[in-house]
A and B are shown apart, each in its own frame.
Chain A
Amino acid sequence: MENKQNKRNSANEFYFQWHFLNYCNLRCSHCYQGDYNFFELPFEKLIEIANKIIEALNKWNMFGRISLTGGEPFMSKSLFALLDYLDKQDRICSIHILTNGTLIDDEICKKLLKYNKLDEIQVSLDGGTQHVHDATRGEGNFDKAIDGIRLLKKYNFKVSSMFTITNKNKNDIFNFISLAIKENIDYISLERVTPCGHSANEDIISSDEIHRIYEQINLEAEKLSNEIAIRRTRPLWANLSKNSFDNKVGGFCPVGFTCLAILCDGTLLPCRRLEIPIGNIFTDGIFKTWYSSKILWDIRDKNNLKGKCHNCKNISKCGGCRAVAFALTNDYLAEDPQCWMEEQF
Protein backbone atom coordinates (compact mmCIF):
# COMPACT_ATOMS: atom_id res chain seq x y z
CA MET A 1 0.00 0.00 0.00
CA GLU A 2 1.63 3.23 -1.10
CA ASN A 3 0.72 6.88 -1.03
CA LYS A 4 1.72 7.74 -4.55
CA GLN A 5 1.46 10.79 -6.71
CA ASN A 6 -0.87 10.85 -9.67
CA LYS A 7 1.15 9.21 -12.42
CA ARG A 8 -0.96 10.36 -15.30
CA ASN A 9 1.04 13.47 -16.03
CA SER A 10 4.64 12.46 -16.58
CA ALA A 11 5.77 16.00 -15.88
CA ASN A 12 4.00 15.98 -12.50
CA GLU A 13 2.24 19.21 -13.21
CA PHE A 14 -1.29 20.25 -12.33
CA TYR A 15 -2.98 23.14 -14.08
CA PHE A 16 -5.21 25.67 -12.31
CA GLN A 17 -7.05 28.26 -14.37
CA TRP A 18 -7.92 30.81 -11.73
CA HIS A 19 -10.49 33.44 -12.63
CA PHE A 20 -9.72 35.46 -9.53
CA LEU A 21 -12.00 38.36 -10.44
CA ASN A 22 -14.76 38.99 -12.92
CA TYR A 23 -14.25 42.70 -13.43
CA CYS A 24 -13.71 43.33 -17.11
CA ASN A 25 -13.36 46.44 -19.24
CA LEU A 26 -14.66 44.63 -22.33
CA ARG A 27 -17.90 42.85 -23.18
CA CYS A 28 -16.84 40.37 -25.85
CA SER A 29 -19.70 38.81 -27.73
CA HIS A 30 -18.44 35.23 -27.28
CA CYS A 31 -17.33 35.53 -23.64
CA TYR A 32 -17.99 32.44 -21.53
CA GLN A 33 -18.53 34.66 -18.50
CA GLY A 34 -22.23 35.07 -17.84
CA ASP A 35 -22.09 38.27 -15.80
CA TYR A 36 -19.71 41.00 -14.72
CA ASN A 37 -21.01 41.83 -11.27
CA PHE A 38 -17.77 43.42 -10.19
CA PHE A 39 -16.71 40.75 -7.80
CA GLU A 40 -13.24 40.38 -6.40
CA LEU A 41 -12.43 38.67 -3.14
CA PRO A 42 -10.42 40.49 -0.45
CA PHE A 43 -6.72 39.74 -0.73
CA GLU A 44 -6.73 37.53 2.39
CA LYS A 45 -9.29 35.26 0.75
CA LEU A 46 -7.18 35.05 -2.41
CA ILE A 47 -4.26 33.92 -0.26
CA GLU A 48 -6.55 31.35 1.35
CA ILE A 49 -7.25 29.94 -2.11
CA ALA A 50 -3.55 30.02 -3.02
CA ASN A 51 -2.74 28.11 0.16
CA LYS A 52 -5.32 25.46 -0.64
CA ILE A 53 -3.76 25.04 -4.08
CA ILE A 54 -0.30 24.69 -2.53
CA GLU A 55 -1.59 22.24 0.08
CA ALA A 56 -3.00 20.03 -2.67
CA LEU A 57 0.19 20.21 -4.71
CA ASN A 58 2.23 19.30 -1.65
CA LYS A 59 0.00 16.35 -0.87
CA TRP A 60 0.09 15.11 -4.46
CA ASN A 61 3.79 15.84 -4.86
CA MET A 62 3.01 17.80 -7.98
CA PHE A 63 3.94 21.22 -9.30
CA GLY A 64 1.40 23.83 -10.25
CA ARG A 65 0.97 25.78 -13.40
CA ILE A 66 -1.38 28.65 -12.69
CA SER A 67 -3.09 30.87 -15.22
CA LEU A 68 -4.35 34.05 -13.59
CA THR A 69 -7.27 35.51 -15.42
CA GLY A 70 -10.66 37.07 -14.94
CA GLY A 71 -12.46 39.09 -16.11
CA GLU A 72 -9.48 41.20 -16.95
CA PRO A 73 -6.63 40.51 -14.52
CA PHE A 74 -5.00 43.92 -14.98
CA MET A 75 -8.12 45.53 -13.49
CA SER A 76 -7.45 43.79 -10.20
CA LYS A 77 -6.09 45.73 -7.26
CA SER A 78 -4.60 42.50 -5.90
CA LEU A 79 -2.81 41.14 -8.98
CA PHE A 80 0.72 42.18 -8.07
CA ALA A 81 0.40 41.21 -4.42
CA LEU A 82 -0.92 37.83 -5.54
CA LEU A 83 1.97 37.43 -7.98
CA ASP A 84 4.39 38.34 -5.16
CA TYR A 85 2.94 35.50 -3.12
CA LEU A 86 2.69 32.86 -5.84
CA ASP A 87 6.13 33.58 -7.27
CA LYS A 88 7.73 32.62 -3.94
CA GLN A 89 6.05 29.25 -3.67
CA ASP A 90 8.23 26.23 -4.39
CA ARG A 91 5.24 24.21 -5.55
CA ILE A 92 4.31 26.72 -8.22
CA CYS A 93 6.45 26.13 -11.28
CA SER A 94 4.82 28.40 -13.82
CA ILE A 95 2.50 31.39 -13.88
CA HIS A 96 0.64 32.68 -16.91
CA ILE A 97 -1.58 35.71 -17.20
CA LEU A 98 -4.50 35.56 -19.64
CA THR A 99 -5.53 39.07 -20.65
CA ASN A 100 -7.28 41.08 -23.34
CA GLY A 101 -4.10 43.16 -23.52
CA THR A 102 -5.82 46.52 -23.58
CA LEU A 103 -4.58 47.85 -20.24
CA ILE A 104 -0.90 46.93 -20.53
CA ASP A 105 1.48 49.86 -20.24
CA ASP A 106 5.15 50.48 -19.44
CA GLU A 107 4.52 50.66 -15.73
CA ILE A 108 2.77 47.27 -15.70
CA CYS A 109 5.53 45.67 -17.79
CA LYS A 110 8.23 46.96 -15.46
CA LYS A 111 6.37 45.59 -12.44
CA LEU A 112 5.94 42.20 -14.12
CA LEU A 113 9.66 41.86 -14.85
CA LYS A 114 10.50 40.80 -11.32
CA TYR A 115 8.46 37.59 -11.39
CA ASN A 116 10.70 34.65 -12.20
CA LYS A 117 7.85 32.21 -12.69
CA LEU A 118 5.78 34.42 -14.96
CA ASP A 119 6.73 32.67 -18.15
CA GLU A 120 3.90 33.53 -20.50
CA ILE A 121 1.33 36.23 -21.03
CA GLN A 122 -1.55 35.32 -23.30
CA VAL A 123 -3.31 38.12 -25.14
CA SER A 124 -6.61 37.19 -26.76
CA LEU A 125 -7.01 38.19 -30.39
CA ASP A 126 -10.19 37.29 -32.25
CA GLY A 127 -9.12 38.66 -35.59
CA GLY A 128 -6.04 39.32 -37.60
CA THR A 129 -7.51 42.61 -38.68
CA GLN A 130 -8.94 45.50 -36.74
CA HIS A 131 -12.53 45.28 -37.94
CA VAL A 132 -12.85 41.54 -37.30
CA HIS A 133 -11.31 41.68 -33.82
CA ASP A 134 -13.31 44.76 -32.86
CA ALA A 135 -16.55 43.18 -34.10
CA THR A 136 -16.20 40.70 -31.22
CA ARG A 137 -14.30 42.76 -28.66
CA GLY A 138 -15.48 46.32 -29.21
CA GLU A 139 -14.24 49.30 -31.14
CA GLY A 140 -10.66 50.39 -30.60
CA ASN A 141 -9.63 47.25 -28.75
CA PHE A 142 -7.59 45.72 -31.59
CA ASP A 143 -5.15 48.62 -31.55
CA LYS A 144 -4.95 48.53 -27.76
CA ALA A 145 -4.28 44.78 -27.72
CA ILE A 146 -1.56 45.10 -30.38
CA ASP A 147 0.02 47.97 -28.42
CA GLY A 148 -0.04 45.71 -25.35
CA ILE A 149 1.62 42.86 -27.24
CA ARG A 150 4.33 45.18 -28.58
CA LEU A 151 5.06 46.46 -25.10
CA LEU A 152 5.29 42.93 -23.70
CA LYS A 153 7.68 41.97 -26.49
CA LYS A 154 9.71 45.12 -25.86
CA TYR A 155 10.24 43.86 -22.31
CA ASN A 156 11.07 40.37 -23.62
CA PHE A 157 8.09 38.51 -22.20
CA LYS A 158 6.99 35.29 -23.83
CA VAL A 159 3.70 36.18 -25.47
CA SER A 160 1.04 33.84 -26.71
CA SER A 161 -2.28 34.55 -28.31
CA MET A 162 -5.58 32.70 -28.35
CA PHE A 163 -7.95 33.04 -31.29
CA THR A 164 -11.46 31.74 -30.59
CA ILE A 165 -12.92 30.51 -33.87
CA THR A 166 -16.52 31.58 -34.51
CA ASN A 167 -18.62 32.15 -37.59
CA LYS A 168 -17.79 35.85 -37.29
CA ASN A 169 -14.04 35.47 -37.59
CA LYS A 170 -13.41 32.14 -39.33
CA ASN A 171 -12.35 33.88 -42.54
CA ASP A 172 -9.72 35.92 -40.71
CA ILE A 173 -7.66 33.01 -39.40
CA PHE A 174 -4.79 33.39 -41.82
CA ASN A 175 -4.63 37.13 -41.23
CA PHE A 176 -4.29 36.29 -37.55
CA ILE A 177 -1.44 33.86 -38.18
CA SER A 178 0.34 36.45 -40.35
CA LEU A 179 -0.19 39.10 -37.70
CA ALA A 180 1.18 36.83 -35.00
CA ILE A 181 4.34 36.26 -37.04
CA LYS A 182 4.69 39.97 -37.76
CA GLU A 183 4.32 40.84 -34.07
CA ASN A 184 6.79 38.14 -32.98
CA ILE A 185 4.22 36.34 -30.87
CA ASP A 186 5.83 33.19 -29.52
CA TYR A 187 2.89 30.76 -29.49
CA ILE A 188 -0.62 30.83 -30.84
CA SER A 189 -3.70 28.67 -30.32
CA LEU A 190 -6.80 28.62 -32.46
CA GLU A 191 -9.74 26.85 -30.87
CA ARG A 192 -13.42 26.57 -31.59
CA VAL A 193 -15.78 28.52 -29.38
CA THR A 194 -17.71 26.72 -26.65
CA PRO A 195 -21.27 28.01 -26.61
CA CYS A 196 -21.61 29.04 -22.98
CA GLY A 197 -22.01 32.40 -21.28
CA HIS A 198 -22.61 35.08 -23.90
CA SER A 199 -21.68 32.90 -26.80
CA ALA A 200 -24.69 32.30 -29.00
CA ASN A 201 -25.38 29.16 -30.95
CA GLU A 202 -24.85 31.01 -34.22
CA ASP A 203 -21.18 31.22 -33.28
CA ILE A 204 -20.96 27.46 -33.61
CA ILE A 205 -19.26 26.10 -36.67
CA SER A 206 -20.34 22.86 -38.30
CA SER A 207 -18.29 19.71 -37.97
CA ASP A 208 -17.37 19.69 -41.68
CA GLU A 209 -16.24 23.26 -41.52
CA ILE A 210 -14.21 22.72 -38.35
CA HIS A 211 -12.54 19.81 -40.13
CA ARG A 212 -11.62 22.00 -43.10
CA ILE A 213 -10.41 24.85 -40.87
CA TYR A 214 -8.31 22.59 -38.64
CA GLU A 215 -6.74 20.94 -41.70
CA GLN A 216 -5.78 24.32 -43.10
CA ILE A 217 -4.34 25.45 -39.77
CA ASN A 218 -2.45 22.18 -39.46
CA LEU A 219 -0.86 22.66 -42.87
CA GLU A 220 0.08 26.23 -42.01
CA ALA A 221 1.52 25.08 -38.68
CA GLU A 222 3.84 22.66 -40.44
CA LYS A 223 4.77 25.11 -43.17
CA LEU A 224 5.47 27.93 -40.71
CA SER A 225 7.03 25.87 -37.93
CA ASN A 226 10.26 27.86 -38.10
CA GLU A 227 8.41 31.14 -37.73
CA ILE A 228 5.78 30.47 -35.10
CA ALA A 229 4.57 27.68 -32.83
CA ILE A 230 0.92 26.87 -33.42
CA ARG A 231 -0.38 24.80 -30.52
CA ARG A 232 -2.57 21.88 -31.54
CA THR A 233 -2.92 19.78 -28.41
CA ARG A 234 -6.60 20.11 -27.53
CA PRO A 235 -9.36 17.68 -28.51
CA LEU A 236 -9.98 16.96 -32.23
CA TRP A 237 -6.45 17.85 -33.32
CA ALA A 238 -5.44 14.19 -32.86
CA ASN A 239 -7.64 13.42 -35.87
CA LEU A 240 -4.98 15.14 -37.94
CA SER A 241 -1.89 13.62 -36.38
CA LYS A 242 0.26 11.62 -38.77
CA ASN A 243 0.79 8.74 -36.38
CA SER A 244 0.42 7.79 -32.74
CA PHE A 245 3.97 8.99 -31.98
CA ASP A 246 3.25 12.51 -33.18
CA ASN A 247 3.40 14.46 -29.91
CA LYS A 248 2.91 17.86 -31.48
CA VAL A 249 -0.61 17.21 -32.67
CA GLY A 250 -3.36 16.00 -30.39
CA GLY A 251 -3.66 15.53 -26.66
CA PHE A 252 -6.11 13.91 -24.28
CA CYS A 253 -8.16 16.51 -22.47
CA PRO A 254 -6.77 16.85 -18.91
CA VAL A 255 -10.20 17.49 -17.39
CA GLY A 256 -10.66 15.21 -14.40
CA PHE A 257 -6.97 14.30 -14.35
CA THR A 258 -4.67 17.30 -14.02
CA CYS A 259 -6.66 20.51 -14.12
CA LEU A 260 -9.26 22.55 -12.31
CA ALA A 261 -10.85 25.93 -12.90
CA ILE A 262 -11.49 28.25 -9.96
CA LEU A 263 -13.99 31.08 -10.29
CA CYS A 264 -13.84 34.39 -8.46
CA ASP A 265 -16.15 33.24 -5.64
CA GLY A 266 -14.25 29.97 -5.14
CA THR A 267 -16.57 27.83 -7.26
CA LEU A 268 -14.71 24.90 -8.77
CA LEU A 269 -15.37 23.74 -12.34
CA PRO A 270 -13.85 20.75 -14.16
CA CYS A 271 -12.80 23.25 -16.84
CA ARG A 272 -13.78 26.89 -17.35
CA ARG A 273 -15.85 25.95 -20.36
CA LEU A 274 -17.57 22.99 -18.72
CA GLU A 275 -19.94 24.99 -16.61
CA ILE A 276 -21.00 22.44 -14.02
CA PRO A 277 -20.02 23.48 -10.49
CA ILE A 278 -18.40 20.55 -8.69
CA GLY A 279 -17.68 22.26 -5.38
CA ASN A 280 -16.38 25.38 -3.74
CA ILE A 281 -12.79 25.73 -2.64
CA PHE A 282 -13.79 27.44 0.63
CA THR A 283 -16.61 25.19 1.75
CA ASP A 284 -15.61 21.86 0.19
CA GLY A 285 -11.90 22.24 -0.40
CA ILE A 286 -9.94 20.75 -3.26
CA PHE A 287 -9.58 17.21 -1.88
CA LYS A 288 -13.26 16.57 -1.28
CA THR A 289 -14.18 17.98 -4.67
CA TRP A 290 -11.42 16.16 -6.54
CA TYR A 291 -12.06 12.82 -4.88
CA SER A 292 -15.82 12.76 -4.64
CA SER A 293 -17.25 14.60 -7.65
CA LYS A 294 -19.38 12.19 -9.67
CA ILE A 295 -18.83 14.29 -12.76
CA LEU A 296 -15.05 14.01 -12.48
CA TRP A 297 -15.24 10.25 -11.90
CA ASP A 298 -17.58 9.85 -14.86
CA ILE A 299 -15.13 11.69 -17.08
CA ARG A 300 -12.10 9.82 -15.75
CA ASP A 301 -13.44 6.51 -16.98
CA LYS A 302 -12.96 6.55 -20.74
CA ASN A 303 -15.41 3.66 -21.03
CA ASN A 304 -18.18 6.11 -20.16
CA LEU A 305 -17.67 8.21 -23.25
CA LYS A 306 -20.53 7.77 -25.68
CA GLY A 307 -21.11 7.66 -29.40
CA LYS A 308 -18.15 7.87 -31.71
CA CYS A 309 -15.83 8.91 -28.85
CA HIS A 310 -16.37 5.52 -27.17
CA ASN A 311 -14.48 3.36 -29.66
CA CYS A 312 -12.40 6.01 -31.30
CA LYS A 313 -8.87 5.01 -32.27
CA ASN A 314 -7.69 8.46 -31.19
CA ILE A 315 -9.16 8.30 -27.70
CA SER A 316 -5.79 8.34 -25.96
CA LYS A 317 -4.92 11.61 -27.67
CA CYS A 318 -8.33 13.23 -27.76
CA GLY A 319 -11.43 12.03 -25.91
CA GLY A 320 -13.42 14.88 -27.42
CA CYS A 321 -14.20 18.14 -25.70
CA ARG A 322 -16.50 17.50 -22.75
CA ALA A 323 -17.40 21.18 -22.56
CA VAL A 324 -18.57 21.36 -26.18
CA ALA A 325 -20.46 18.08 -25.72
CA PHE A 326 -22.22 19.45 -22.63
CA ALA A 327 -22.96 22.84 -24.18
CA LEU A 328 -24.53 21.33 -27.29
CA THR A 329 -26.20 18.18 -25.91
CA ASN A 330 -26.50 18.76 -22.14
CA ASP A 331 -24.54 15.51 -21.67
CA TYR A 332 -20.90 15.85 -20.71
CA LEU A 333 -20.24 12.24 -21.74
CA ALA A 334 -21.76 12.57 -25.20
CA GLU A 335 -19.61 12.30 -28.30
CA ASP A 336 -17.98 15.54 -29.35
CA PRO A 337 -20.65 16.94 -31.70
CA GLN A 338 -18.07 18.73 -33.80
CA CYS A 339 -15.90 15.68 -34.46
CA TRP A 340 -15.72 14.74 -38.12
CA MET A 341 -14.47 11.18 -37.63
CA GLU A 342 -16.67 8.26 -38.68
CA GLU A 343 -17.95 6.07 -35.86
CA GLN A 344 -15.82 2.94 -35.41
CA PHE A 345 -17.05 -0.46 -34.29
Chain B
Amino acid sequence: MLDGRTILKLNDDVILKSVNNSFRALNVNDGNQYRLNLVSFKMLENADGKRNIDDIVNELTKIFDVEKTTLKDDILLFYSEALQKKIIFLVEIDENN
Protein backbone atom coordinates (compact mmCIF):
# COMPACT_ATOMS: atom_id res chain seq x y z
CA MET B 1 0.00 0.00 0.00
CA LEU B 2 1.44 3.33 -1.04
CA ASP B 3 1.34 6.40 1.12
CA GLY B 4 3.00 9.81 1.27
CA ARG B 5 6.20 8.40 2.77
CA THR B 6 6.74 5.82 0.05
CA ILE B 7 9.84 6.22 -2.09
CA LEU B 8 9.77 4.96 -5.65
CA LYS B 9 12.38 4.68 -8.37
CA LEU B 10 12.09 4.45 -12.12
CA ASN B 11 13.07 1.01 -13.47
CA ASP B 12 16.61 1.21 -14.90
CA ASP B 13 15.30 -0.43 -18.09
CA VAL B 14 12.76 2.35 -18.62
CA ILE B 15 13.57 5.45 -20.64
CA LEU B 16 11.37 8.55 -20.53
CA LYS B 17 11.15 10.51 -23.77
CA SER B 18 9.28 13.61 -24.81
CA VAL B 19 9.33 14.67 -28.44
CA ASN B 20 6.95 17.04 -30.21
CA ASN B 21 4.56 17.09 -27.20
CA SER B 22 4.39 13.31 -27.16
CA PHE B 23 5.39 11.70 -23.86
CA ARG B 24 6.44 8.09 -23.51
CA ALA B 25 7.94 5.54 -21.15
CA LEU B 26 9.91 2.88 -23.02
CA ASN B 27 11.20 -0.37 -21.59
CA VAL B 28 14.37 -1.34 -23.45
CA ASN B 29 14.28 -4.86 -22.04
CA ASP B 30 10.76 -6.15 -22.66
CA GLY B 31 9.84 -3.65 -25.38
CA ASN B 32 6.75 -2.28 -23.65
CA GLN B 33 5.99 1.33 -24.46
CA TYR B 34 3.53 3.53 -22.64
CA ARG B 35 2.00 6.71 -23.92
CA LEU B 36 1.80 9.33 -21.17
CA ASN B 37 0.46 12.81 -20.69
CA LEU B 38 2.61 15.60 -19.32
CA VAL B 39 1.43 15.05 -15.72
CA SER B 40 2.12 11.30 -15.67
CA PHE B 41 5.44 11.94 -17.44
CA LYS B 42 6.45 14.32 -14.66
CA MET B 43 5.28 11.85 -12.02
CA LEU B 44 7.64 9.22 -13.44
CA GLU B 45 10.44 11.71 -13.97
CA ASN B 46 10.30 12.59 -10.29
CA ALA B 47 10.44 8.98 -9.13
CA ASP B 48 14.16 9.28 -8.44
CA GLY B 49 14.54 6.84 -5.53
CA LYS B 50 15.29 9.69 -3.12
CA ARG B 51 12.19 11.81 -2.58
CA ASN B 52 8.98 10.35 -1.19
CA ILE B 53 5.52 10.78 -2.67
CA ASP B 54 4.67 13.78 -0.46
CA ASP B 55 7.84 15.54 -1.69
CA ILE B 56 6.85 14.83 -5.29
CA VAL B 57 3.30 16.09 -4.73
CA ASN B 58 4.75 19.33 -3.31
CA GLU B 59 7.04 19.62 -6.31
CA LEU B 60 4.32 19.01 -8.87
CA THR B 61 1.83 21.43 -7.32
CA LYS B 62 4.38 24.13 -8.12
CA ILE B 63 4.10 23.20 -11.80
CA PHE B 64 0.46 22.25 -12.21
CA ASP B 65 -2.60 24.20 -11.10
CA VAL B 66 -4.17 21.50 -8.93
CA GLU B 67 -5.14 20.93 -5.30
CA LYS B 68 -2.61 18.89 -3.32
CA THR B 69 -5.24 16.38 -2.18
CA THR B 70 -6.44 15.84 -5.73
CA LEU B 71 -2.93 15.43 -7.04
CA LYS B 72 -2.02 13.05 -4.24
CA ASP B 73 -5.03 10.84 -5.03
CA ASP B 74 -4.05 10.85 -8.71
CA ILE B 75 -0.39 10.13 -8.07
CA LEU B 76 -1.14 7.22 -5.71
CA LEU B 77 -3.42 5.68 -8.30
CA PHE B 78 -0.94 6.20 -11.11
CA TYR B 79 2.05 4.91 -9.15
CA SER B 80 0.10 1.79 -8.15
CA GLU B 81 -0.53 1.00 -11.77
CA ALA B 82 3.06 1.83 -12.74
CA LEU B 83 4.31 -0.51 -9.99
CA GLN B 84 2.21 -3.36 -11.35
CA LYS B 85 3.66 -2.75 -14.79
CA LYS B 86 7.19 -2.66 -13.32
CA ILE B 87 7.80 0.83 -14.67
CA ILE B 88 8.83 1.86 -11.15
CA PHE B 89 10.00 -0.02 -8.07
CA LEU B 90 9.64 0.51 -4.34
CA VAL B 91 12.76 1.66 -2.58
CA GLU B 92 13.25 -0.04 0.77
CA ILE B 93 13.81 2.38 3.63
CA ASP B 94 16.02 1.48 6.51
CA GLU B 95 13.73 2.42 9.43
CA ASN B 96 16.70 2.52 11.82
CA ASN B 97 18.23 5.50 10.03
Q: Which A residues fall within an 8 A CB radius of B?
A: 1-4, 6, 55-56, 59-60, 285-288, 291-292, 297, 300-303
Contacts and interface: CB of A to CB of B under 8 A. Distances in A.
A291 B33 contact: yes
Contact of A287 (B31, B81, B85): B31
Given A297-B19, A302-B20, A1 B29 contact: no
A56 B31 CA distance: 7
B19 A3 contact: no
A287 B27 CA distance: 8
Given A292-B15, A301-B19, A302-B20, A1 B36 contact: yes
Contacts of A286: 31
B78 interface: yes
Contacts of B28: 285, 287-288, 291-292
Contacts of B32: 3, 59
12 contacts: A1-B35, A1-B36, A2-B34, A2-B35, A3-B35, A287-B27, A287-B28, A287-B29, A291-B17, A291-B26, A300-B19, A301-B20
A3 B78 contact: no
Contacts of A288: 28-29
Q: Point out which of B17, B36, B81 has the most chain A C-beta atoms below 10 A from its C-beta.
A: B17
A13 to B, nearest CB: 17
A1 B20 contact: no
B17 to A, nearest CB: 7
B94 interface: no
B2 to A, nearest CB: 16
A123 B31 CA distance: 35
A292 B29 CA distance: 11
Contact of A4 (B26, B35, B82, B85): B35
Interface string B12-31: 00010101100000111111
B78 A291 contact: no
Nearest to B40: A1
A194 to B, nearest CB: 26
Nearest to B25: A1
10 cross-chain pairs, A with B, having the tightest CB-CB distances, nearest first: A59-B31, A291-B26, A288-B28, A287-B31, A301-B19, A291-B28, A4-B35, A287-B28, A291-B15, A300-B19
B84 to A, nearest CB: 10
A51 to B, nearest CB: 13
Q: Point out which of B17, B28, B36, B85 has the most chain A C-beta atoms below 10 A from its C-beta.
A: B28
B85 to A, nearest CB: 8
Contact of A303 (B20, B30, B78, B81): B20
Contact of A3 (B15, B29, B34, B82): B34
Nearest to B32: A3
A4 B33 CA distance: 7
A291 B24 CA distance: 10
Nearest to B20: A301
Contact of B31 (A4, A55, A301, A302): A55
Contacts of A302: 20
Nearest to A256: B19
Nearest to A287: B31
A297 B18 CA distance: 10
A23 B40 CA distance: 50
Nearest to A288: B28
Nearest to B14: A291
A285 B15 CA distance: 15
Contacts of B26: 287, 291-292
A3 B28 CA distance: 14
A80 B17 CA distance: 40
Given A301-B19, A301-B20, A1 B81 contact: yes
